[in-house]
Amino acid sequence: MNMSKSLIGLMASAALLPLMAAEAGGTGGEGATTSETSTKSIIGDKYKGMYRGASDWIGSTIEEKCLRVPEGAKEGSTARDLHLPDLFRLARANKLNEEKIAKMESQQGERNAPGRIRMTIGNMLRAAAKRRHGLYDVDGASVLTPDAEFMLGAPDKPTEDLDGNKIVDPEVEKKKAEAKADREAKAAQAKADKEAKAAQAKADKEAKAAQVKADKEAKAAAEDAEKAQPETA
């Protein structure tokens, strides 16, 4: 009886192996590999939409620009693998953080690296696209324009240009300058009031000391004058 149960368990496990391999590998998803490595992603189908964005414009852009038919694929094959060099070119074309890109480049041969790198760069591109209202293509010249659905929740106006430079809004800068000038004027007035108060206190103290001295001198003079008067018989 126990042997029968064990045999059934082994048969079930063997039947699941192809399904598990398909989930880990996929074609064109987060499990896509580079042409240089056979490393597969451990991100399951249940969560792939979260990282790829499914109908997300960034996910579609990465699929279009950075996936290639793998070397040695049969003619007519629809399988495509993530080509990391293209993904790095797309990241650099959009002036993303070079230090982070270089670090990911150095890790691309590690286990599960393709899916992790795709997710990380995808999130960086996603944030940049919302701030800039667009991205550069891999060539660094052509402009890619996000669809309206992707831009939901993004700022009404871009806060950066396509090179990642902050865009200065004249009205916003004017208000900032006015607020700064107002703060500085208040600070200057408070300083002046404090200095004036200190100067007045000093003047009052000096005047009081001078009055005390004058009164003392007057009293001493009066006493001297009284002593100088001749005594009467």
Listed residues 120, 143, 167: the one ending a domain: 167
Q: Which residues are bridge partners to 81 per DSSP?
A: 68
Write down the pLDDT at residue 169: 79
Residues 53 and 100 in one domain: yes
Residue 187 falls within a domain, yes or no? yes
Residue 46 pLDDT > 70: no
Write down the pLDDT at residue 9: 52
Residue 2 falls within a domain, yes or no? no
Distance CA 123, CA 83 (A): 17
- The count of domains in the chain is 2
Apex 58 CA angle, 56 and 63, nearest 5: 100
Over residues 113-133, the mean pLDDT reads 95
